[in-house]
Amino acid sequence: MTSLFWKEINAFFTNLTGYVIMAVFLAALGLIVWVFPGTSVLEYGFSDLEALFSYTPMVFMFLIPAITMRMIAEEKKSGTWELLMTSPLPVWQIMLAKYLATLVLIALTLLPTLVYYYSIVQLGDPVGNIDSAGFFGAFIGLLLMGAAMASIGMFSSSLTDNQIVAFVVGVFTSFMLYIGLSAMAELSGQWGYLLENISLSYHYESMSKGVIGAENVFYFAAFIGCILTVTWGIISKK
Amino acid sequence: MSIEVNNLSKFYGQQKALDGISFQAKPGQILGFLGPNGAGKSTMMKIATGFLLPDQGDVIIRGVSVTKHPQVVSKMVGYLPEHNPLYLDMYIPEFLSFMGGLYQLKGKDLANKVSRVMEECGLMPEKTKKIGQLSKGYRQRVGLAKTLVHDPAIIILDEPTTGLDPNQLVEIRKLIKTISINKTLVLSTHIMQEVEAICEKVVIIHRGKIVAQDLLQNLTATEKGFTFVLATEETLDMEWFSAFTLSDLKVLASNRFLIRTPDPQLFRKQALNLIQERQLNLVELKQENKNLEAVFHELTQKPV
């Protein structure tokens, strides 16, 4: 399983697409957090990074399906899926190795944003005037959000052997579960509460302010578990 | 038995890809799996390697059922899928180490095995290249090296020589022959010469059914008598042959007959006499020695 895990990490970095995805992600976030008026921290005037935490999921919605789209779809298309499936590795381990590799890639992409934290620490008046616990709490929330969207990406990649389809389905599913459900909750009175509760944004909201609630962590774990189980069901069908 | 295929059936929707196939391969045997395109060769191999599940029946590899313990079986089997899928971005040793890793080889053992198969498959001169830069023949070698890296007792190759040029073809065949020493090898193909060159046992399938299975020598011997092709510039007449001792006569074209006879010497004499008598211009008189090809045509052209 480790061999497959490293293969995925290597494949990301030996390929130009990997760097493009990372560069675009950081450029988009950099613009939102530091340049665009209306969202820029500098304009906002408070030493916190709320902009980072409220806009990153939006960027994730495109970035993560771009990382995961090739995970299964490309292997199916090129036929190498047959090499993996006829190896002694159980199907769930193939999926898990690919999923864990995705998580590491997301974490690596997110890592440079720690520079933002350092910048705000330095820019604060007095220097160091920042809610560190709040920042790192929200950062963990962001990682959980990334993990949830990675599971959606794996799922959409398992549906098809076409990367573009996998990407589009991944973006759309993430969009529906993140924004779509809470928007629908406002539309439908009776089911509103339920829809609100199963949406990603509802559980992410308090986390983005740095509060790591057990129920939210449990929600994310269950969410990821469910989606990966469905994915496993799809790919182990022979 | 190394490989036992028992009453295997597979359906794709309404279409029957395999219909009650049974055959065996003994340890050390090279078995040729022969059939026209779309006969079900690949389906059968995908089931034997655990990539697909059969709708009926089972494949037993060295006493272990593929459907029940696919992971156990996969360690004993080296499989080269059709079209030889490879990771084109990887370097050859990187790819082989990765595949070895999937088969739970580690550290020194893995490194040794990788360099051994690279040596065996003649990949050493190309070891600094990415797989995507290799020619088709070398890619095929990488594919074969990959099937060997975990030292399996059974090798399954799905059309290993398609798309190669004549030189590569000979080299890859030679390689297959050398790697098959002390191993059971199943190889699918639709090229007769290949089977005649390397296989001991032949299974011919057609539209999902086995139409013949036997040792190569028996299969070609069952051919009724000897086959000749006689062609002249003039149109041939069936009646001219009424005095001949023939077991069969087929009209391939008006001036080209396919003739089977139990006595080849007599036939040759009679044919030459005929040509002299009738003052014909001989174009071709040849004994068909590609008997397997004839068997194949006969078995796979009639509707099942």
CB A21 within 8 A of CB A109: yes
Chain B hits for A82, CB-CB cut-off 8 Å, are 46, 51, 79, 81, 85
Residues 6+ apart with CB under 8 A from B208: B10, B16, B17, B18, B19, B21, B39, B40
Same domain, yes or no: B20 and B52: yes
Q: How far is A97 from chain B (nearest CA, A)?
A: 11
CB B299 within 8 A of CB B204: yes
CATH number at residue B241: 3.30.70
Buried b (16+ CB within 10 A) or exposed e, A155-194: bbbbbbbbbeebbebbbebbbebbbbbbeebeeeeeeeee
Q: Residues of B numbered 66-105 whose beta carbons fall under 8 angstroms of chain A's beta carbons: which are they?
A: 71-72, 74-75, 77, 79, 81-83, 85-87, 89, 97-104
The per-residue pLDDT for B96 is 94
**Residue B52 sits at the chain A interface (C-beta within 8 Å):** yes
Query: Count of CB contacts below 8 A, A vs B?
Result: 62
The 10s digit of each residue's pLDDT in B139-156 is 999 999 999 999 999 999
- How far is it, in rounded angstroms, from Cα A201 to Cα A205? 6
CATH number at residue B180: 3.40.50.300
Domain region containing B158: 3-220
Q: How confident is the model at residue B220 (pLDDT cuts 50, 70, 90)?
A: low
Residues 6+ apart with CB under 8 A from B168: B135, B136, B137, B140
Is the preceding omega at residue B125 within 30 degrees of 0, hence cis? no
Do B50 and A86 count as a contact with CB atoms less than 8 A apart?
A: yes
Same domain, yes or no: B256 and B241: yes
The per-residue pLDDT for B289 is 60
Point out the domain boundary residue: B220, B236, B260: B220
Same domain, yes or no: B75 and B216: yes
Whether residue B174 has pLDDT greater than 70: yes
Same domain, yes or no: B74 and B209: yes
Helix (H, G, I), strand (E, B) or coil at A28: helix
Residues 6+ apart with CB under 8 A from A1: A89, A93, A96, A97
Same domain, yes or no: B165 and B263: no
**Residue A197 sits at the chain B interface (C-beta within 8 Å):** no
Whether residue B222 has pLDDT greater than 60: no
Q: How far is A143 from chain B (nearest CA, A)?
A: 29
Residues 6+ apart with CB under 8 A from A148: A200, A220, A223, A224, A227
Chain A hits for B104, CB-CB cut-off 8 Å, are 88
What's the mean pLDDT in B34-59? 89
Chain A hits for B83, CB-CB cut-off 8 Å, are 79
Whether residue B304 has pLDDT greater than 80: no
The per-residue pLDDT for B290 is 53
Whether residue B223 has pLDDT greater than 70: no
**Residue A3 sits at the chain B interface (C-beta within 8 Å):** yes
Q: How far is A74 from chain B (nearest CA, A)?
A: 11
CB B61 within 8 A of CB B3: yes
Point out the domain boundary residue: B170, B197, B220: B220
Q: Residues of A numbered 48-87 whose beta carbons fall under 8 angstroms of chain B's beta carbons: which are they?
A: 78-87
Torsion of CA A49, A55, A61, A67, to 10 degrees: -40
Q: How confident is the model at residue B291 (pLDDT cuts 50, 70, 90)?
A: low
Question: Around Cβ B193, how many Cβ atoms within 10 Å?
Answer: 14
Same domain, yes or no: B232 and B202: no
What's the mean pLDDT in B251-280? 85
Of B74, B79, B85, the CB nearest to A80: B85
Same domain, yes or no: B156 and B283: no
Do B85 and A87 count as a contact with CB atoms less than 8 A apart?
A: no
The per-residue pLDDT for A51 is 82
Q: Which of A32-46, B58-72, B215-229 has the highest mean pLDDT?
A: B58-72
Overall domain count for chain B: 2
The per-residue pLDDT for B189 is 86
Same domain, yes or no: B25 and B80: yes
Best probe of the B interface among A1, A14, A82, A91, by most B CBs < 10 A, is A82
Whether residue B208 has pLDDT greater than 90: no
Do A14 and B89 count as a contact with CB atoms less than 8 A apart?
A: yes
The low-confidence residues of chain A, meaning pLDDT below 50, are none
The per-residue pLDDT for B199 is 87
CB B198 within 8 A of CB B32: yes
The per-residue pLDDT for B100 is 93
Whether residue B256 has pLDDT greater than 90: no
CB B61 within 8 A of CB B76: yes
Whether residue B232 has pLDDT greater than 80: yes
The per-residue pLDDT for A155 is 95
- How far is it, in rounded angstroms, from Cα B283 to Cα B231? 5
Residue of B nearest to A1 (CA): B102
Same domain, yes or no: B161 and B287: no
CB B208 within 8 A of CB B40: yes
Tokens (6 digits) for B55: 């709708």
Residue of A nearest to B12 (CA): A238
Same domain, yes or no: B137 and B10: yes
Chain A hits for B100, CB-CB cut-off 8 Å, are 3
Do A88 and B71 count as a contact with CB atoms less than 8 A apart?
A: yes
DSSP one-letter string for B199-241: -SEEEEEETTEEEEEEEHHHHHHSS-SEEEEEEESSPP-GGGG
Q: Which comes out higher in pLDDT, residue B262 or A106?
A: A106
The per-residue pLDDT for B218 is 73
Same domain, yes or no: B177 and B58: yes
What's the mean pLDDT in B17-28? 89
CB A222 within 8 A of CB A148: no
Query: In the β-sheet with B77-80, what is the strand arrangement from edge to edge?
Result: B77-80, B154-158, B184-189, B30-34, B201-206, B209-215
Same domain, yes or no: B172 and B244: no
Do B71 and A238 count as a contact with CB atoms less than 8 A apart?
A: no
CB B291 within 8 A of CB B255: no
Beta-bridge partner residues of B16: B11
The per-residue pLDDT for B302 is 63
Do B102 and A79 count as a contact with CB atoms less than 8 A apart?
A: no
The per-residue pLDDT for B303 is 58
The 10s digit of each residue's pLDDT in A59-87 is 999 999 999 998 999 999 999 999 999 99
Point out the domain boundary residue: B220, B252, B270: B220
- How far is it, in rounded angstroms, from Cα B113 to Cα B194? 28
The per-residue pLDDT for B61 is 92
What angle in degrees, to the nearest 10, is found between the helix axes of A132-158 and A214-235?
A: 20
The per-residue pLDDT for B184 is 92
Amino acid (one-letter) located at B92:
I
**Residue B53 sits at the chain A interface (C-beta within 8 Å):** yes
Best probe of the A interface among B61, B67, B102, B113, by most A CBs < 10 A, is B102
The 10s digit of each residue's pLDDT in B77-110 is 999 998 899 999 899 999 999 999 999 998 899 9
CB A100 within 8 A of CB A16: no
Residues 6+ apart with CB under 8 A from B242: none
Of B72, B85, B103, the CB nearest to A87: B103
